[in-house]
Amino acid sequence: MKNKSEQSSKIVLFQSRKIRRVWHNNEWFYSVVDIVEVLTESANPTDYLKKIRKRDEELGVYLGTNCPQVEMLTETGKKRKMLTGSTKDVFRIIQSIPSPKAEPFKRWLAKVGKERLDEIENPELAQERMKEIYEKKGVSERLDRQAAAWNGY
């Protein structure tokens, strides 16, 4: 099985549409233009991105500061530097896209954000969420041992 550094670039699919990604600085970076294209169905996603950067000046500054130009393969197989974003950056970009396809992501981000704020107020909620995750992964015994250690048992 290949590790992430051996799979330095890969195409992922969203609703049967290709989104290029590359392993960079120990995390996945995604093609910003590909994401804009998938969420807007724009005939010219590069121009669409330019327009939303002008409309949302904070986004323009954010992209310029946080989203590096990283080499990726083009459709013709040539390597070109492209604007990319980490998962966190992609979530920020999605928030600025006024598109029905972006709405499920925005609702999910709001839901997760509320859940994390609730967990700050009541840490037991976070512990329960982690237990559910570990149970789904089949490692609930390990979590029980860890919880017992945290609680001093």
Residues 28 and 69 in one domain: yes
Among 116, 96, 115, smallest CA distance to 106 is for 96
Q: Please report whether residue 59 resides in a domain.
A: yes
Residues 132 and 65 in one domain: no
The alpha carbon of residue 90 and the mean position of all alpha carbons in its chain are separated, in whole angstroms, by 5
Q: Please report whether residue 135 resides in a domain.
A: yes
| Number of independent structural domains in the chain | 2
Residues 140 and 80 in one domain: no
- Predicted TM-score (pTM) of this structure: 0.70
Q: Give kind and range of the element (H or E) at residue 73.
A: strand 69-73
Give the relative orientation of helices 87-95 and 57-66 as an angle to the nearest 10 degrees: 170
Residue 153, pLDDT score? 56
Residues 92 and 18 in one domain: yes
Residue 52 near residue 45, CB atoms below 8 Å: no
pLDDT tier at 26 (50, 70, 90 boundaries)?
Answer: very high
Residues 27 and 72 in one domain: yes
Q: Both tokens of residue 69?
A: 């130009």
Share of the chain above pLDDT 70, in %: 82
Other Cβ atoms within 10 Å of 109 Cβ, number: 14
Range of the domain at 138: 122-150
Residues 92 and 23 in one domain: yes
Among 114, 136, 134, smallest CA distance to 146 is for 134
Q: Determine whether 114 is exposed, middle or buried from the number of CB atoms within 10 Å of its CB (0-12, 13-18, 19+).
A: exposed
More reliable by pLDDT, 15 or 141: 141
Residue 2 near residue 16, CB atoms below 8 Å: no
Q: Please report whether residue 106 resides in a domain.
A: no
Read off the pLDDT of residues 82-135 as tens digits, 9 standing for 90 and up. Answer: 999 999 999 999 989 988 988 888 888 898 899 999 999 999 998 888 888 888
Q: Please report whether residue 112 resides in a domain.
A: no
pLDDT tier at 143 (50, 70, 90 boundaries)?
Answer: low
Q: Please report whether residue 60 resides in a domain.
A: yes
Residues 128 and 95 in one domain: no
